[in-house]
Amino acid sequence: MKVSVIGGGHGCYAAAIEMVEKGFDVTLWRRDGNALQELRQLGYLVVKDAQGERRIQIGTHKDQLSLTDSLTEAAQQAELIIVPLPATSHDTLADQLGPLLRDDQVVFLPPGTFGSYLFHRAMRKAGNDSQVAYCETGTLPYLARKHGANKVVISVYATRLPTGVFPSELSAHAFSVLREAYPSVEPIEDGLSGALMNAGPIIHPPLIMMNAGPLEHFDAWDIHNEGTQPSIRSVTTALDNERIAVRERLGYQPSHFPLANHYASEGEEWMYGRGAHGKLTDSGDWRENIDLHSHRYMLEDTRMGLSFIVSVGRWAGQPTPVAEGLLSIASAITGQDLYAQGRTLEMLGLDSLSLAQMRSLLTYGIQA
């Protein structure tokens, strides 16, 4: 299978490495030409995980990783396109990718914040009527951090990836392709169900808002270790309960992958399996300097992710007071109206749809 990985972040390098190691024909696209050239000159990627440290050669042979700065090349040759990029990159990328896609391709957004609809809409606006399946899941398939230009450390691999497809009528084909790359994917109802599995807007906003003092005082602070205290966990649980209530209001079925299972040593296995939180904190890779005005936990998980949950709750008639409160605090910290800037149903032009119209859209996509 031909696979293209789009982007140069932590998850992008991890995905490219895993796909090469699984024997696929893999191309990595980066917009940053200088970074791509540096990687080409280095000649290899280094990965370190529980299996040890090893190299992935860069080149044109079957067992090597190909590099390109041509999005056209990366898109048109691939059966599976993996986009492990933050939602803040979606608008521009969707417009660029939309005209290039063809029938039967699968685009994987881990996670998506309803990017599945945004990419589909951009393709249709470009006049492209291809049958492309956009899939989104609840988290990156990896807890990973880059160390320098060509090394990535993967602390944990996902063991369960609840994944929805937009439009859902393409689900059978999408999962037949996606499971070759990620056997851990678990089919759920549709793209909106997938968007409401996104764990980032549940984990990160309480951690950064309630650790704002230490984050601004210390040079580096681990919000997942010292910053995860019982009072903060209580807020996280209440926030997650709101997400689950929105899902239930829309008729989505369990498992809702409650975040409490991420921290528990027993019970239902969460997306990263059991004991993942301990592996994350033990790695030390999340002791970092988080600028509350510019970090992705604010710009993506709060501004876009929390706004999306609040907007779906308002549309469905399901209150989300904790999410709205955290979003208000974040807006006060940044001095900006983050809901107005967020990825909301209002911004997407979907807030006036009835439930029946929304279900039709989720099933069939945008019809001519």
Least confident of 105-114, 138-147, 277-286, 303-312: 277-286
Rounded to an integer, what distance in angstroms lies between the CA atom of residue 218 and that of residue 210? 15
Percentage of the chain beyond pLDDT 90 is 87
The answer to whether residue 281 scores a pLDDT higher than 70 is no
The answer to whether residue 226 scores a pLDDT higher than 90 is no
DSSP state of 67: E
The answer to whether residue 88 scores a pLDDT higher than 60 is yes
How many alpha carbons fall within 13 Å on the CB side of residue 280?
Answer: 20
- Extract the tokens encoding 40: 């080409």
The predicted model gives 67-82 an average pLDDT of 96
Nearest residue to 134 (alpha-carbon basis) of 184, 75, 82: 82
The answer to whether residue 277 scores a pLDDT higher than 70 is no
Task: Specify the 3-state DSSP secondary structure of 164.
Answer: strand
Rounded to an integer, what distance in angstroms lies between the CA atom of residue 164 and that of residue 108? 10
Give pLDDT tens digits for 183-212: 999 999 999 999 999 999 999 999 999 999
Contact 344, 310 (CB under 8 A): yes
What pLDDT, on a 0 to 100 scale, did the predictor assign at position 51? Answer: 94
What pLDDT, on a 0 to 100 scale, did the predictor assign at position 268? Answer: 86
Q: Which residues of 123-152 are buried (b: 16+ CB within 10 A; e: fewer)?
A: bbebebeeebbbbbbbbbbbbbbbeeebbb
Q: Distances in Å between the alpha carbon of 79 and those of 27, 28, 340?
A: 11, 14, 36
What pLDDT, on a 0 to 100 scale, did the predictor assign at position 227? Answer: 87
Q: How far is C-alpha 152 from the geometric centre of its chain's CA atoms?
A: 18
Q: Distances in Å between the alpha carbon of 288 and those of 219, 223, 232?
A: 8, 9, 19
Q: Distances in Å between the alpha carbon of 82 and those of 135, 232, 355, 358?
A: 10, 33, 30, 26
What pLDDT, on a 0 to 100 scale, did the predictor assign at position 280? Answer: 62
Rounded to an integer, what distance in angstroms lies between the CA atom of residue 254 and that of residue 245? 11
* Cis peptide bond upstream of 167, omega within 30: yes
Q: Give just the sign of the alpha carbon dihedral 114, 139, 137, 48.
A: positive
What pLDDT, on a 0 to 100 scale, did the predictor assign at position 287? Answer: 62
276: exposed, middle or buried (Cβ count in 10 Å: 0-12, 13-18, 19+): buried
Give pLDDT tens digits for 119-134: 999 999 999 999 999 9
What pLDDT, on a 0 to 100 scale, did the predictor assign at position 221? Answer: 86
Instruction: Return the higher-pLDDT residue of 283 and 312.
Output: 312
Instruction: Return the higher-pLDDT residue of 268 and 174.
Output: 174
Q: Which residues of 187-197 are buried (b: 16+ CB within 10 A; e: fewer)?
A: bbbbbbbbbbb
The answer to whether residue 245 scores a pLDDT higher than 80 is yes
Rounded to an integer, what distance in angstroms lies between the CA atom of residue 226 and that of residue 359? 43
What pLDDT, on a 0 to 100 scale, did the predictor assign at position 283? Answer: 61
Give pLDDT tens digits for 137-168: 999 999 999 999 999 999 999 999 999 999 99
Q: Which domains does the chain have, with CATH numbers?
A: 2-196 (3.40.50.720), 199-364 (1.10.1040.10)
What pLDDT, on a 0 to 100 scale, did the predictor assign at position 33? Answer: 87
